[in-house]
Every structure is written in C-alpha cells, then in structure tokens.
Amino acid sequence: MSPPLRLALVTDAWAPQVNGVVRTLQTTVDMLEARGASVLVISPDRFRSLPCPTYPEIRLALARPGAVGRLIEAHAANAVHIATEGPLGLAARRHCLRVRRTFTTSFHTRFPDYVEARTGLPARYGWRYLRWFHRPARAILVATPTLAQELATHGLRQTRIWSRGVDLARFRPGLPAPEAYRGLARPILLNVGRVAVEKNLEAFLALETPGTKVVVGDGPALAELRARFPEVRFLGALSGEPLARAYAGADLFVFPSRTDTFGLVLVEALASGLPVAAYPVPGPLDVVGDSGAGVLDDDLASAVALALRIPRAAAIDRARAFSWEAAVDQFEAALEDCFGVTPRKRRWLRRARRAEAEVA
C-alpha cells in the first residue's frame, strides 16, 4: 500500500492575495487535508518579504538560503509540488535538484505576456526562464488541454491535466442583487478580476453597448480606469456572499482577457447563471468552447450582443462540468504516479483518469 501523503506545497501566491491561483491552491489544500493528507504550505507569510514592483499586494519572500529546503525536510515530505516560479519556487527547485528530490510544478500564469504588457520586454525572454524552470519537473500540472499544447510548443511536454472547479453551493442563480445594482440600466454587463493592464479591460469598457458595465476587483489600473470611464460602476474587491450576489444579479459576464490560463471567474459566472462573452483564446476556449453557454468572437461587441440571447440555464448546465472533487482527484492521481503516494482504490483512480479524459 502506498504511504499516506505528506505534501510540501511551495507557492509565492497565497493569502491575503485574492486571485484564481490562490483560490485554487487553498481549495486543493483544504480538500487534501479533509482526505487525510498532511500538507505543509510554504508561502511568503513565513518570511520577511518585499512588495513586487507594480504588484504591491504580491509579496516577494526574502527566504535565507536553505530555509525552504529545511522546511521540506522537517515535514518529512514524500511529495513536493512547486506551484509558482517566484523566489520560493526557485528556492524549492534548487533544493530538490541539489538533494535529487523528485518534484512537480504547475503552470498558472503567463508571466511573460504580463511582463510584456507592462514593460514592453518581449515575451520570448520570459519563456526562456519558464522553460528552464519547469524542465526538470517530473510533471507540470496545467488547467487545460490547450495550455498543455502551448507548453509543448515550448519544449515542455511532461504535462498533466489539473482542472478547476466551482462551489455550486456558493455561486448559484437566484440570489438577491446587491444594493449597488439598484437603479442601474439593464442589461448589467459584469467583469470580475484583477484591474490590471494584462486583463485587457479597456477592450470591454470601451464597447458601445446598452445597459451598465460593472467591474468587481482591485488592482494597479483601477484609479486610471475609473477616471477614464466614469460611467462604469467599479465596486472594488468582493468575496463570499457579496461576490456571489454580484454575479447572480448581473445579466452577462464579459471576459476580455487574452492572457489567462483558465479563468476561474468564468466558471463562477456560469454557475451563477451568466452566459459569457469573450475572445476565442485559451481559457474561454476550454471553459466555454462550443458548449452553448457563451459566445467567443474576435469582435467582442458582437459576442456581447449574441450572448445576451443565451438562456441562463445553458450557463448553469455548463458549470456542472467543473467539480472541485474531480480536480483534486486529478491532482492526487498526478502525485501518486510521480511519487507513489496517496493510497486509493482502483475505482477512484479510474474516476480521476476518466475526468481527465473528459476535460481533454
């Protein structure tokens, strides 16, 4: 029988950050622990840190050489997963290579594209770093088949699918609309996410559409966009029940990003009964695709007009395809194959691999 899972999860993204990466990692940790695993999260809150330039809410850990390795060994970890490519991820990678420890990684964010959008530095330089970082990993966990294909073009072929889920008990239709929606012209076109240049929000905010545009989220571009688009309602960051009500009270979810690897907000919107209008790019292609729950078009205004005709029931049906149980099954299956840990029944293994095949 395989030994019980003792996982060291190394991540530069953790609370109090609010984003899809953090929500994914936190949900996975909670569910692994509920299944009996022992999980050590090595995150910036354990160390002195500095704010990341242009992303002050992201903290860059100042870990002493060897500190991350000592935590891994003190935990007696039999699996090491490196979730991010920042300072802590680098320290864990260095330790694992030095002591010849197997490790897995995950690819959550297209940082080369983000850096290019912010600084003009060509994305190819960032991809050189990412190829170097991920190449020694036993497996690279990615959210979608489209992303796996993209990484293969960069020479990273040891990918495994680790999809995402949605809490259907929290994100659901029929919740009372937030007070901020009172009196707004319909339809309400909603975007939820980080207010930053790489999210391409201007493509949404500049559209000439009926109704009211609403943005939920915070970020470095918030003040500028508020000044440039005074007719848009910016509600700031929301979480929990207020966020769920913001979704449920809107009429359409508009997702202008071209750089997200998945877009967890897409499945939250679908679960809340919101059809999606987006570009036909990775993320929307995998989450919405040809499911009938949204419209993907290079003409975003056309996508909005057509998506407003989609019944809410189609969005809800599509959301049911995304289960956190299935996603954590995939994560555990990858760990067992790479490390020989996490005992489970063969029936459980078949379910995990069937879920992976369905996503593919």
**Domain count across the chain:** 2
**Claim to verify: residue 98 and residue 130 sit in the same structural domain:** yes
Amino acid in position 142: V
For residues 94 and 204, membership in a common domain is answered with no
With respect to residue 51, please indicate whether it lies within any of the assigned structural domains: yes
Phi, psi (deg, nearest 5) at residue 277: -115, 125
Instruction: Decide if 171 is inside a domain.
Output: no
Q: Cα angle vertex 176, ends 318, 263, to 5°?
A: 35
- State both tokens at 171: 């994100």
Question: Would 106 be classed as within a structural domain?
Answer: yes
Q: Are residues 147 and 27 in the same domain?
A: yes
Rounded to 5, what percent of the chain is helix, strand, coil?
A: 45, 15, 40
Asked whether residue 28 is assigned to any structural domain, the reply reads yes
Q: Are residues 61 and 129 located together in one domain of the fold? A: yes
User: Are both 34 and 57 inside the same structural domain?
Assistant: yes
Does residue 187 share a domain with residue 229? yes
- Give the domain CATH number at 300: 3.40.50.2000
Q: Locate 339 and state its tokens.
A: 């490390």
Same domain, 133 and 202: no
pLDDT at 345: 45
Integer Cα distance of 245 and 266 in angstroms: 15
Compute how many other C-beta atoms are within 10 angstroms of the C-beta atom of residue 237: 16
Is 170 within the bounds of a domain? no
Same domain, 260 and 132: no
Domain span including residue 210: 179-319
Same domain for 183 and 308, yes or no, is yes
Residue type, 128: R
The pTM assigned to this predicted structure is 0.86
Read off the pLDDT of residues 22-72 as tens digits, 9 standing for 90 and up. 999 999 999 999 999 999 999 999 999 988 776 677 788 999 889 999 999
What pLDDT is stored for residue 347 in this prediction? 46
Task: Tell whether 141 and 220 lie within a shared domain.
Answer: no
47/138 same-domain check: yes
Do 296 and 148 fall into the same domain? no
Report how far residue 95's alpha carbon sits from residue 103's, in angstroms, rounded to the nearest whole number.
10
Model pLDDT for residues 330-352, shown as the tens digit of each residue: 999 999 999 987 545 444 455 55
Under DSSP, is residue 162 helix (H, G, I), strand (E, B) or coil? coil
Mean pLDDT of the chain: 91
pLDDT tops 90 at residue 149: yes
